[in-house]
Structure 1
Amino acid sequence: KGGFSKIEENRKIKLLSPLTAEFVPDQWSDDDVQDLNGRELMPYYAAVREAVEQYADDLLTYYDGSEEIRGKLAGILPTVEVHDGKLCGCAVITFRQDLSERQWNSVMEYITGQYSDGWGEGFEQRDIEVDGGVLNVHFWQPERFEMVPIAEECGEAVKPARPPMELVGHDGNIFAIMGRAAKLLRENGQNAESLEMRRRVTHCDNYYKALGIISEYVETELSVPRDLSHDPAHIRKEKKRGGEER
């Protein structure tokens, strides 16, 4: 009596990836075809989004991997989204249960395959009519392709608190520290943050910078309090201290 059962709602993660395209003018020769990147695709946002929505299909329909992973997922829908002034590919993943790091990697590999040889291969052959010509848009590129996870909050848009983790006592292996932090984030319901943190750390070339990145996601001895992280005086102080250390 007096208690209640919490109904778990499906949650979502967006995986952003680069978009490229060829613009073929109405009157053209081979020299007139233009290669466009995500920033140059911005004027064609509406046309590209409409084309994707018309061709969109739930990619989970074709998933033939682990039944355990499939059971945790509710849908994988391709779309496009503007991020940092660029038009990006976006896979919206709806999931029922948390996935492990290995399982998320498996899902990203599957989507990459769909972009390169499945759904994306069919989409890039569609002519998207725009002013002055047509576009052929690519969700996959052979170079510099990566997926960046961002969270899409469902229900209350309250960001969970950073889970606490002490650095003292760890053996100094950055990958072990990163793995523990990723596990804590997943247990805290922050799957997108876990993936993003791992991506940033693995691309970092400095042990202490890596610790700083980890400390943005979990509460460590190095973490900046959230109420100070955007304070101008604190930022100036940190920049000054960084200059003195160099």
Structure 2
Amino acid sequence: MTERIPLSIDRQASRAVRDVVLATAASLPMSFLAVSGRGEAVAVDGRGDWSERARVAVDEGARGVLVVAPGVAGAGSAARLADAGVPIVLDAPWRHAVLLTRMAPDFRATRSHRTMLEARTTVALPSELADAVADLAFSARALLGSTLSSRRTPIVSERQVITVWTPSPGFLVRLSATVSPEPPGRAWFRLIGERQTVTLELPSPGSGDSGIGELITADGTTSAPSVFESSHRAALVRLERAMSGDVVSTDVIDYLSATADDAAID
């Protein structure tokens, strides 16, 4: 049997983050062992200066770092983590959802000249708008498999933030976050192409509900198989695979390239 990876939680993490990490690790009993001392893997809170806390964890010997719900305000020194020499996985909403990974090839095949990817989500408070748009950008980058660029000045109000990117001539990416009374945390992605449309609905990060992925063509609608796994769990699985050398995590570079301008949103 493969030896379990000792996983510790940074002492500055909130109770909510601690509960998420412990519950998620418990769902992977063959992979991780929660410990009170310094573990080989360390989970840090994404609130505040998470990039500095991740750097400290690496300096103290961590072989892998999980950042739970990273915010744009704390990414100031994240560039130094890009060459940290150990895998750093950002457990941002939807980014590591299994269904997002499975639907990505359909989004990339549908993308063409004169098409637009639309992505939206809702939040409970105005203070959450900037991070929500950043999370959408991070996930949109993963769906498209390319960087976002040529960002227009965002539309910003007390209840909504909209950003529009032009990664290539004729192709647009429109991201929006809105304060709403409906349950927050779900995300919707849609790309209408010349011959087909692909849609993706993902649940909130802590939910084990299955998302909905559909490819719509002239021949009918093909639905992706249901996946009942939270994105928190998917992110921790990603960290395990990165620590074992099965995959390479480029989360820090991808997050910075997708959200650098968003840090200026009030």
When you count helix as a share of all residues, which structure comes out higher? 1
TM-score > 0.5 by shorter chain: no
More strand by share: 2
Q: Scaled by the length of structure 1, what TM-score is found? A: 0.28
TM-score (normalised: structure 2) = 0.26
